Amino acid sequence: MKFDPSAIASQLATVSDGDVQLGISLATYTSYKIGGPTAVWVAPVSEDGVGRVLELIYRNKIPLFVLGRGSNVLISDRGWDGVTLYLGENLSAVDFDRRQARVLAGTLLLDLVRAAVKKGLAGMEQLAGIPGGIGGALRMNAGAFGQEIESTIREANGFHRNGSPFHATRDDIQFDYRRVPELEDVIISSAVFRFEESDPHILSARMDDILALRAKKQPLGYPSCGSVFKRPSGYYAGALIEEAGLKAERIGGAMVSPKHAGFILNVDRASAADVYALINLVEKKVYDRFGVRLEREVRLIGEFD
């Protein structure tokens, strides 16, 4: 749907309490460092501001892309022909009250983990090193080493796409593997977590071990989106890709990691088209070899050929 970006930006400036811009590149805001421009950019600094922005966008029927910390997305080289609602450092804060923490959605997951560990609060330390923000981590039930974010969540707050408020307690939400159906169509603005008291020195050592293990096993030296594919039932995506002979396979500036085949890296100014072509090649070769259809964990934003 065509719309006048300048006119919408002017309207957004009247309801948002944060930054509004036209035509800025999205690559800077993604862990892949890939992506074209967005027609309109808006970054409110309060939860109420998020609701007002959503109501205006919905009323005007404008395409909406909600961008958090950008760790699980591949944005088209053509960018996004709509409004990008940014929920990153502009909506980031942690407020502890004894064993509970109220956290804004743009807060980095690692920042929350570190803050909790420092206070001797257990329940998230094994999630250390998972990239991205709290909003995205909740929507995908982020987890690692046998621990998932669902074990600490107590309530989630945010908005429906029309700007109406959303609130859910832990009992209202069904968490599945890398999927939370009740949160799929919700823009999360904050959440409340509850931890267990523990020895901060033990938690810190455990967190450091997790971070060291990630650094040893994962290719952290190049931009990536993290794991490109979900774990297939009964298999590991990285192992299937490796056994299909695809380690170090390359298209343009994109390469399957020689260290961990579940990662596709931006090794030399890769375009979104490079990464997308390599994703398709991996999917085809794994299916041809093993009959397993890999399911993407990365979200594709914008137009791809």
| Residue 39, number of CB atoms within 10 A of its CB | 21
Which residue among 16, 71, 190, 227 is the active-site one?
A: 227
DSSP 90: G
Which residue among 78, 154, 178, 206 is the active-site one?
A: 178
Query: Would residue 90 be called left, alpha or beta, if left means φ above 0 and alpha means ψ between -120 and 50 degrees?
Result: alpha
Provide DSSP, 120-144: TEESSGGGTT--SBHHHHHHTT-EE
Query: Is residue 170 among the annotated active site residues?
Result: no
Query: Is residue 178 among the annotated active site residues?
Result: yes
- The rounded distance, in Å, linking the Cα atoms of 289 and 241 is 10
Q: Is the dihedral of CA 161, 167, 173, 179 positive or negative?
A: positive
- The rounded distance, in Å, linking the Cα atoms of 72 and 60 is 28
- The rounded distance, in Å, linking the Cα atoms of 286 and 162 is 40
Query: Does residue 204 sit in helix, strand or coil?
Result: helix
- The rounded distance, in Å, linking the Cα atoms of 108 and 273 is 28
Decide: 158 and 189 in contact? Cβ < 8 Å: yes
Catalytic residues: 178, 227, 297
